[in-house]
Chain A
Amino acid sequence: VKHTVEVLDATTKEQLCFLDKVDPHSTIGDIKSLFYKSYPQWYPARQALRLDTRGKSLRDDEVLQNLPVGTTATMYFKDLGPQLGWTTVFFAEYIGVLLTYLVFFFRVPYIYSHTYALTSSPHPVVKLACVCHTFHYVKRLMETIFVHRFSHGTMPLRTIVKNCAYYWGFSAWLAYYINHPLYTPPSYGELQVKYALFTFAMCEVGNLSIHMSLSNLRTDGFRVRRFPTPTKNPFTWLFFFVSCPNYTYEVGAWLSFTVMTQCLPVAIYTLFGFIQMTIWAKVKHRAYLREFKDYPTVRMAIIPLIL
């Protein structure tokens, strides 16, 4: 039995496209490709198709005959705006951050007073901070290329502009103080820096371990759904206590960086990051609880036993 699909504009309700003789086993992705033929300016990634004007957008892998529509389906279309692939997004965000920090590290002229232009700081912790910051973002870039498996293909252009402004802006703000000629090294000296460096390194390794174990969950292409569990790697044992140990480690890394540099803007950046990641962790945690009946009850979202 062939289906017909009618696509209407979600705001104006005018008919944009009428597809007949559609195979009931077609996916939403197939429908989007067909729609794209009539409207070449709206590539599939920027199409959102819904069953009612204000509902949730249908996933690309949903099958037409499994939808509550019968043999004639009416769908509503919304343009999501220009989209960019995740890889492009992360590259833009992370390379921007890296370079911004380095601009301050090398004391490019006109940032600080001209007697200090292109000089370097006498404090070893300042060089160390640059290495750590750069390492953090290079690691993220590597993960984007080799580790992460993304469920959505793209991200809207507006979001990227907003994210870049946030990342680059904060990077500039904290780099300005760390690399400042009047920078004051930590109060407890080398001891403070060494301890902070150690916890920073542990958190970076921890964060990477979690990313790799999450990536391994998706080797069967999203069909079988499992929740993450601790593996032989001791860094993943944090899964006993939290749903999102990657965020836990990320906060830990930034806290370490704060202590290492003893810089208030870094503390403020860490706080903002913590708030955002807690929101994401809570959403993920609730999603796990809803989906898996046997989900471990001792687990919290981001901080063991607390949050």
Chain B
Amino acid sequence: MSAAAQGTSKAAHGDVAPKKKKGPGALATAYLVIYNVVMTAGWLVIAVGLVRAYLARGSYHGLYYSIEKPLKFFQTGALLEVLHCAVGIVPSSVVLTGFQVMSRVFLTWAVTHSVREVQSEDSVLLFVTAWTVTEIIRYSFYTFSLLNHLPYLIKWARYTFFIVLYPMGVSGELLTIYAALPYVQKTGLYSVTLPNKYNFSFDYYTFLILVMISYIPLFPQLYFHMMRQRKKVLGHADDYSKVE
């Protein structure tokens, strides 16, 4: 699922209401700035890669292959964010962050990478584009927040673009999982059947269907959470100056 709903970070709301926050130390702040700059750069590389490949080929088809490696690298690298929460240098929930990152990593590796036949689907481009734009905005948002100089434009973008990007990403993800289903069923990918000496079974096909169903309760919750965050953060736009 798109990590656009990562609205729980207090760093995002530090400019809305003065809250008592411990905050990371100077070393941790320096590290986080570097981390977020690197991630912004990484997703920019992916964005540029997509544009260049499109211009070179003249079609939307099969653009996944041109950005496959940086996508895997930077999306998997986001696992560090779970560590940041666990260690306490980022004031977000480990569980929430873990869940969001794991769902992205799951789509990248357990679906798109594992089922070759879906890699040429247009739905892959749909979610990759959504993720790319979201992450560029999100990581630059964090970078500027940490440096205490957040341009209103970035804040606005972060809390507005999701309105389109989130459903776009979810659609791409669901369509991709759906496209993978027949191949998973045919090859028995990641599945274990009885009998075996550990008396265990796992049907990856059924699992993927359950994952798709789980989007139904989860997506609206995350989407409306972001909507509420938007009202809170941007609602008082008239009271604040455009650039801090």
Contact = CB atoms under 8 A, between A and B. Distances in A.
Interface of A: 177-178, 180, 182-184, 187, 261-265
By secondary structure, the A interface counts as loop
Contact of B197 (A178, A187, A265): A187
B194 A180 contact: yes
Given A184-B196, A184-B197, 10 more contacts: A177-B194, A177-B199, A177-B201, A178-B199, A180-B194, A183-B195, A183-B199, A184-B195, A264-B199, A265-B200
Interface residues of B, number: 8
Nearest to B202: A264
Contacts of B197: 184, 187, 262
Max chain B C-beta neighbours (<10 A), residue from A187, A263, A264: A264
10 contacts: A177-B199, A178-B199, A180-B194, A180-B199, A182-B195, A187-B197, A262-B198, A264-B199, A264-B200, A265-B200
Contacts, number: 29
Interface in B183-221: 194-201
5 smallest CB-CB distances across A and B, nearest first, come from A264-B200, A182-B194, A182-B195, A263-B199, A264-B198
B198 A263 contact: yes
Contacts of B200: 177, 263-265
Contacts of B201: 177
Max chain A C-beta neighbours (<10 A), residue from B194, B198, B199, B201: B199
Contacts of A262: 197-199
A179 to B, nearest CB: 10
B98 to A, nearest CB: 15
Contacts of B196: 184
B165 to A, nearest CB: 34
Interface of B: 194-201
Contacts of A265: 199-200
Contacts of B195: 182-184
A263 B196 CA distance: 10
By secondary structure, the B interface counts as loop
Contacts of A187: 197
Nearest to B194: A182
A126 to B, nearest CB: 11
Nearest to B195: A182
Nearest to A263: B199
A122 to B, nearest CB: 13
Contacts of A261: 199
Contacts of B194: 177, 180, 182-183
A178 B201 CA distance: 12
Nearest to B201: A177
A261 B199 CA distance: 9
A262 B196 CA distance: 10
B210 to A, nearest CB: 14
A180 B197 CA distance: 13
Contacts of A177: 194, 199-201
Nearest to B196: A184
A170 B196 CA distance: 20
Contacts of B198: 262-264
A178 B195 CA distance: 11
A110 B199 CA distance: 20
A57 to B, nearest CB: 23
A264 B202 CA distance: 11
A182 B195 CA distance: 5
Nearest to A265: B200
